[in-house]
């Protein structure tokens, strides 16, 4: 089993434990990767050496985890047996306590053999995610495993076994009752790196977990997309999220929830379903992000994308309108490239319309770059005059009125960028703006 040069530390740990008479095996993702002929991931270790022995043998060691204590040796996870060294069942007894059969395999470096007491290799080949042993016990040990099951099923483009699905449906309420939001958040972020995270969300919905994790999205599952779409709001959201880059997890998550406000905005006008102003309905999205313990900064970024995604940018958009768009994006702290990527993905996820062509994208990007390269002022700090300058010129004391004057000046500059010189701004001030 070739673990790659980065796993040399793991091999050294196994070697040292073996010299002291202890057994140690490679377990977890590295074994899965090897069987799938993929580059190996982290090489976790399972050993019959007790934690105090591990700490004594390796200087750079610290213990982590509450439910299942693990020693981190120079960053490598080394788990001591829990089923009992003298029970005669090591490592099978410990493998039986792991979450899924595809993770309940071990590789013996000494004999170069696979230890697979629960047919994990067979499930891996068939792309079946199955809890190891009693599904109910595995869930009660750590309810987050239900979300992990959905993620693995999506990652391997597989399915949940019947007994796994039944157990998750039965225990789904535990995810909101027993699991801290930040742990669920970590699973969501990991899922964003998948080729198609939509499979993860479909699995969450099929198991009754989505309504407890992202209810703002779950409620859109049966919501018609309206006359301008050929799909439900839920289907549209999944396609938009999939169309965004996998290396930008928060950006991608914003794509999955960008239209969640349509549920609150839905109205029937003149016999047609409309979602006018849906981008302003962000309370439900914010509530879900808060429950998942996203930072204030991350929440602000996602909600800014939601609020901005409906701003028009077409072939007919005037330079003045582009400047106002850029000023709005600047006020939200949004890069214009993120806005444009979201617009492209939004169009791609609409089955009733054609996606943007490369020419369409170039035209829109060109309009933006033309204004950006012109060094137009997009916020009050870009003005060629400062608040102190205003106070001196108008003999004013500090106060909110200075800020209001700067906003008025910015409005004039957005209309006509040539006004953004100190001389012309001072002239405007003398004229009462």
Write out the H or E segment, with its range, that includes residue 111. Answer: none
Q: What is the pLDDT of residue 424?
A: 80
Q: Residue 426's pLDDT band (boundaries 50, 70, 90)?
A: confident
pLDDT band of residue 86 (cuts 50, 70, 90) is: very low
Specify the 3-state DSSP secondary structure of 249. helix
Q: The CATH number of the domain where 92 resides is what?
A: 3.30.460.10
Whether the Cβ atoms of residue 280 and residue 307 lie closer than 8 Å to each other: yes
Q: Which long-range contacts (CB under 8 A, 24 or more apart) does 210-214 make?
A: 212/172, 212/173, 212/175, 212/176, 213/147, 213/175, 213/176, 213/184, 213/188, 213/288, 213/292, 214/256, 214/257, 214/288
The β-bridge relationship of strands 44-47 and 76-80 is parallel
- 183: domain CATH number? 1.10.3090.10
59-91 burial code (b ≥16 CB/10 A, e <16): eebeeeeeeeebbbbeebbbbbbebebeeeebb
Statement: residue 4 has pLDDT above 90: no
Domain tally for the chain? 4
The confidence band for 7, taking pLDDT boundaries of 50, 70 and 90, is low
Taking the C-alpha atoms of residue 135 and residue 130, their distance in angstroms, rounded to an integer, is 8
What's the pLDDT band for 21 if we cut at 50, 70, 90?
very high
DSSP string, 402-424: HHHHHHHHHHHHHH-GGG-SHHH
Confidence band, pLDDT 50/70/90 cuts, at residue 68: low
Give the closest residue to 170 by CA, choosing from 209, 201, 141, 228: 209
Binned at pLDDT 50, 70 and 90, residue 151 comes out as: very high
In this structure, the answer to whether residues 368 and 272 fall within a common structural domain is no
**Of 71-75, 133-137, 249-253, 373-377, the least confident:** 373-377
Dihedrals phi, psi of 323, to nearest 5 degrees: -65, -40
Residues 161-202 have pLDDT tens digits of 999 999 999 999 999 999 999 999 999 999 999 999 999 999
Mean pLDDT of the chain: 90
Last residue of a domain, one of 303, 338, 362: 303
Mean pLDDT of 69-98: 81
CB atoms within 10 A of CB 216: 20
- Same domain assignment for residues 357 and 264: no
Do 55 and 139 fall into the same domain?
A: no
325 with 420, same domain: the answer is no
Section 104-124 average pLDDT: 94
Question: pLDDT above 90 covers what percent of the chain?
Answer: 66
> pLDDT (tens digit, 9 = 90+) per residue, 214-228?
999 999 999 999 999
30 contact partners, CB below 8 Å, separation of at least 6: 1, 3, 7, 40, 41, 42, 43, 44, 107
Helices (H) and strands (E) in the chain, counts: 24, 11
pLDDT of residue 429: 81
Q: Are 152 and 292 part of one and the same domain?
A: yes
Place of tokens 């490239």: 337
Tell me the mean pLDDT in the region 257-262.
Answer: 98
- Average pLDDT for residues 120-139, to the nearest whole number? 97
* Claim: this prediction has a pTM higher than 0.75: yes
d(CA 63, CA 46): 14
Q: Say if CB 14 and CB 111 are below 8 A apart.
A: no
Please check whether residues 153 and 279 belong to one and the same domain.
Answer: yes
- For 105, the token pair is 């395999």
Question: What is the crossing angle of helices 400-415 and 422-430, to 10°?
Answer: 120
- Over residues 231-259, the mean pLDDT reads 98
Whether residues 173 and 211 share a domain: the answer is yes
My answer on whether 192 and 166 are in the same domain is yes
Q: Which domain holds residue 68?
A: 5-120
- The band of 5, judged by pLDDT with boundaries at 50, 70 and 90, is very low
Contact indicator for 211, 218 with CB cutoff of 8 Å = yes
Quick: pLDDT tens for 289-346: 999 999 999 999 999 999 999 999 999 999 999 998 999 999 899 999 999 999 999 9
For the stretch 334-386, pLDDT in tens is: 999 999 999 999 999 999 999 999 999 999 999 999 888 866 777 778 787 88
pLDDT at 88 over 70: no
Answer whether residue 6 shows pLDDT above 50: no
Where do we find the tokens 């006509």?
416
Does residue 213 share a domain with residue 165?
yes
Tell me, yes or no, whether 264 and 360 share the same domain: no
Residue at a domain's end among 262, 279, 303: 303
Based on the fold, state whether residues 253 and 271 are members of the same structural domain: yes
The answer to whether residues 185 and 294 belong to one domain is yes
Last residue of a domain, one of 69, 103, 120: 120
Give the residue among 134, 75, 132 at the shortest CA–CA distance from 106.
Answer: 132
């Amino acid at each position: 089993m070739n673990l790659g040069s980065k796993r040399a530390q793991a091999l050294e740990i196994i070697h040292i434990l073996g010299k002291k008479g202890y057994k140690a095996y490679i377990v977890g993702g590295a074994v899965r990767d090897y069987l799938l002929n993929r580059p190996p991931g982290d090489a976790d270790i399972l050993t019959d050496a007790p934690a105090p022995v591990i700490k004594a043998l390796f200087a750079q060691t610290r213990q982590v985890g509450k439910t299942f204590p693990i020693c981190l040796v120079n960053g490598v996870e080394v788990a001591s047996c829990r089923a009992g060294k003298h029970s005669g069942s090591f490592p099978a007894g410990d493998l039986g306590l792991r979450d899924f059969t595809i993770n309940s395999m071990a590789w013996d470096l000494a004999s170069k053999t696979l230890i697979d007491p629960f047919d994990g290799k067979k499930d891996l080949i068939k792309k079946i995610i199955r809890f190891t042993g009693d599904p109910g016990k595995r869930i009660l040990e750590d309810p987050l495993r239900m979300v992990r099951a959905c993620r693995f099923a999506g990652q391997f483009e597989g399915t949940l076994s019947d007994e796994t699905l039944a157990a998750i449906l039965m225990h789904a309420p535990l995810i909101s009752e027993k699991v801290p939001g930040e742990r669920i958040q970590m699973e969501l972020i990991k899922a964003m790196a998948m080729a198609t995270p939509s499979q993860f969300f479909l699995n969450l919905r099929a198991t009754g977990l989505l309504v407890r994790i992202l209810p703002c999205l779950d409620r859109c599952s049966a919501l018609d997309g309206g006359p301008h779409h050929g799909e439900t709001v839920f289907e549209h959201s999944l396609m938009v999220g999939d169309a965004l880059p996998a290396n930008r997890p928060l950006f991608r998550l914003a794509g999955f929830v960008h239209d969640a406000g349509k549920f609150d905005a839905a109205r029937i006008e003149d016999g047609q379903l409309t979602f006018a102003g849906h981008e302003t309905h962000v309370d439900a999205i914010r509530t879900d992000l808060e429950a998942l313990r996203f930072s204030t900064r991350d929440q602000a970024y996602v909600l800014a994308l939601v609020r901005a995604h409906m701003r028009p940018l077409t072939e007919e958009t005037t330079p003045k309108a582009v400047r106002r768009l850029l000023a709005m994006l600047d006020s939200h702290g949004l890069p214009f490239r993120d806005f444009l990527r979201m617009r492209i993905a939004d169009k791609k996820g609409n089955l009733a319309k054609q996606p943007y062509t490369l020419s369409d994208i170039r035209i829109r990007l060109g309009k933006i770059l033309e204004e950006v390269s012109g060094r137009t002022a997009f916020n009050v700090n870009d003005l060629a005059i400062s608040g102190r300058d205003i106070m001196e010129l108008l003999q004013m004391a500090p106060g909110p009125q200075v800020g209001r004057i700067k906003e008025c000046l910015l409005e004039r500059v957005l209309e006509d960028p040539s006004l953004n010189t100190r001389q012309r701004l001072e002239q405007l001030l003398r004229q009462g703006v």
